[in-house]
Structure 1
Amino acid sequence: MLSITSFINHSKFGLVNFLLLPFSAIFFIFSYIRLCLYKVRLLKVSVSSVPVIVIGNITAGGTGKTPIVIAVANYFASRNKIVGVVSRGYGGEYTQESLEVTLTSDPINCGDEPLLIKQQTEAFVVVAKKRSNAVKFLTENYSVDLIISDDGLQHYAMGRDIEIAVIDGHNRLGNGWFLPAGPLRETKKRLKSVDFIINNGSHMEGEISSKIEANCYINLATNEKKDLDFFKSKKCFAIAGIGNPDNFYSLLEELGVNLITKTFADHHKFIEKDFEFKGGYPILMTAKDCVKCKQFATSQMWYLSVDAKISSDFYQQLESKL
């Protein structure tokens, strides 16, 4: 029988994770009870009059979900569908029950990801603390053909027609334990009930492969575009306030950039002081982070434009389920 020390040493655990296990047990119990209450309809589920596609995950942290939301929204727009997108607008300071996001919205108010989705799609975007309220807002105010939920796999008050779980192809399910000792929001068995599993960055049998591909660098101040070899072999600062910054840094390193990295918490509210660096090197960041930096953008600041490339037959499978 393994001792506590052996358990810690032979797992992906640290001492802090081990000490958090009782809280993970509590999280699991409450999550399971909550799910059961929705299944037996003791808790209300709001059913939409139009199809709802949930693109979420069963782990905390970044899995590359938002680029996939953007790719799916743009695909349906190319098929002449009117698309709505709902989000919680994590980190946003809005107080309304539902808030529609426009191109002039303040990311501090609506959240960074909803504004990025609005900028990169033709979709109507609405944020609400309860995504079911955002769905209701869209169906009452616009003739949308379908609604995509950015995250919300665990928001069971929102009815859904299709569930897509996104997994980071490298980290997958982490140490396999529930929050806060591990990254899991739900048991891995939950993946058996979703319609699609998108593997972001790797390949696994039974999962849809996806890859984040870089397009170009875009200057925040001038909108000037540069090819992907522009910063090759050059020293640059790389700034990230996203769920999995290592994926961003790795992508830049694959492009040959010599990095000096500075990492912030996910959804960090950037201020001008955050960019006071010595050396005058170019500053590279993600599109998600740059939407919060427009007011103090300089020609030193660039973002890497990316797209999610998903297996070609995915969209046909997705449409067949609608």
Structure 2
Amino acid sequence: MIQKMWYQGHPLQWMLLPLTFLFWLVSGIRRLLFRSGIKKQHSVNAFVIVVGNISVGGNGKTPVVLALTEHLTSLGLNVGILSRGYGATSPYYPREVTASDPASEVGDEPRLLSIRSGVPVVVDPVRSRGATFLVDEHHCDVIVCDDGLQHYALARDMELVVMDGRKAGNGWLLPMGPLREGVWRLKTVDAIIHNTKSTRLDALQRVPPEFTMSLVPCNFRNVCSPEITCSANAFSHPHAFAGIGDPERFFSQLRSMGISLSSCQSFDDHHHFSHTDIPDGEVIMTEKDAVKVHEFAHDNCWYLPVDAKLAESFYQLLHERLARAGYFKKG
């Protein structure tokens, strides 16, 4: 209901206006405290890149974090990934994530990032503390933050916003709309990366550089035995489910690959799965969901890894910012 209201509109949304005003007031005071210096930002001896958004829900940040990490590593930089660890129940922080850690303790996205990236991944709700850990323990040159655009306590060198086709929804702040900060915030970031074909933001008169990314599917992998792979034509009429910000984007991608789906089941982002959520027979899910269900999935469950492909012009912008900060020599 709330998602439909945010993106399709409903008269009942006006009942939430008082709560939205309170959210605006509290968040505005918090920003003012940091801007005035009353609340201090913590800086670390590393180049900090925040990959975030102004709305709630997933929209493709994780593939961007992985693409950035791979590219930065190829430049010879020592890279670490920092995450709040949404939904994590770790008994201690900062916590370095390993592939064997349960997603319930470290979060689904951090576990995925640890498996895929090959670099240190740390979760800590106090991001400044986690960033300090990455610098002190792993001597990271660059820290890529998965989310955290509104976590002003950690100073950053570059802010990237990822947006999908839902853009800013109805344009209202929480809970009346999906926004953590107003659309005005986009004017202050270093770049906007669109997880959609459109790169136009009509709501802004002036925008930072905008880039389009595409999600390139890899071979499907078995959830129980990831070393087993198959292609799209191996499926007959599988069931599909997704617990991400925009499940329909995943289902559409599967159909575009020529897969005829027998059913589609959407779950909330960061849904806590149980074995009853998994149907019998062929099942396809996202990689993010696979890290949460691998312990109880059956042997005919498959996931689709995707890689983010970013424009060369985006990497040129990244190189310029790194060079300006003394972390990279162009040419």
Return the TM-score normalized by structure 2: 0.89
AA of the residue aligned to 2:229: K
Of the three residues 179, 188, 191, the one matched with 1:196 is 191
Decide whether the 8 Å contact of 1:210 with 1:311 is kept in 2.
yes
Which whole-Å deviations, capped at 9, do the CAs of 1:19-45 have from their partners, x for residues lacking one?
112111111111111111101111121
Q: Once the 2 structures are TM-superposed, how far is the Cα of residue 135 of structure 1 from its aligned partner?
A: 0.4
Counterpart check, 1:43 vs 2:47: no
AA of the residue aligned to 2:271: H
* Secondary structure, counterpart of 2:144 in structure 1: strand
Decide whether the 8 Å contact of 2:135 with 2:141 is kept in 1.
no
* Secondary structure, counterpart of 2:213 in structure 1: strand
Report what 1:218 is aligned to. Answer: 221
Whole-Å separation in 2 of the counterparts to 1:16 and 1:62: 25
Q: Once the 2 structures are TM-superposed, how far is the Cα of residue 12 of structure 1 from its aligned partner?
A: 4.3
Report what 2:232 is aligned to. Answer: 228
Which whole-Å deviations, capped at 9, do the CAs of 1:97-126 have from their partners, x for residues lacking one?
311101211111000000101111122100
Decide whether the 8 Å contact of 1:217 with 1:225 is kept in 2.
yes
Which whole-Å deviations, capped at 9, do the CAs of 1:208-266 have from their partners, x for residues lacking one?
111112112111123311123333xx311111111211111111121222220122222
AA of the residue aligned to 2:93: E
Report what 1:294 is aligned to. Answer: 294
Q: Once the 2 structures are TM-superposed, how far is the Cα of residue 54 of structure 1 from its aligned partner?
A: 0.3
Decide whether the 8 Å contact of 1:55 with 1:152 is kept in 2.
yes
Q: Once the 2 structures are TM-superposed, how far is the Cα of residue 81 of structure 1 from its aligned partner?
A: 1.5
AA of the residue aligned to 2:76: N
AA of the residue aligned to 1:227: S
Of the three residues 49, 57, 65, the one matched with 1:61 is 57
- Higher mean alpha-carbon deviation, 49-58 vs 215-224, is at 215-224
Report what 2:22 is aligned to. Answer: 26
Of the three residues 69, 72, 77, the one matched with 2:68 is 72
Structure 1 stretches of at least 4 aligned residues deviating more than 3 Å after TM superposition: none
* Secondary structure, counterpart of 1:55 in structure 2: strand
* Secondary structure, counterpart of 1:292 in structure 2: helix
AA of the residue aligned to 2:20: S
Report what 2:12 is aligned to. Answer: 16
Whole-Å separation in 2 of the counterparts to 1:228 and 1:314: 31
Q: How does 1:175-190 map to 2 (within 5 A)?
A: 175-190=170-185
Whole-Å separation in 2 of the counterparts to 1:143 and 1:98: 15
Decide whether the 8 Å contact of 1:215 with 1:228 is kept in 2.
no
Q: How does 1:12-161 map to 2 (within 5 A)?
A: 12-161=8-157
* Secondary structure, counterpart of 2:66 in structure 1: helix
Q: Once the 2 structures are TM-superposed, how far is the Cα of residue 130 of structure 1 from its aligned partner?
A: 1.5
AA of the residue aligned to 1:215: C
- Higher mean alpha-carbon deviation, 287-296 vs 202-211, is at 202-211
Decide whether the 8 Å contact of 1:201 with 1:212 is kept in 2.
no
Decide whether the 8 Å contact of 2:232 with 2:258 is kept in 1.
no
Which whole-Å deviations, capped at 9, do the CAs of 1:37-81 have from their partners, x for residues lacking one?
101111121011111000000011121111111110111112222
- Work out the number of aligned pairs and report it: 307
Whole-Å separation in 2 of the counterparts to 1:38 and 1:20: 28
Whole-Å separation in 2 of the counterparts to 1:41 and 1:97: 27
AA of the residue aligned to 1:178: L
AA of the residue aligned to 2:181: E
Q: Once the 2 structures are TM-superposed, how far is the Cα of residue 13 of structure 1 from its aligned partner?
A: 2.3
Uncovered stretches (5+) of structure 2, i.e. residues with no partner: 201-208, 323-331
Counterpart check, 1:267 vs 2:270: yes
Uncovered stretches (5+) of structure 1, i.e. residues with no partner: 1-8
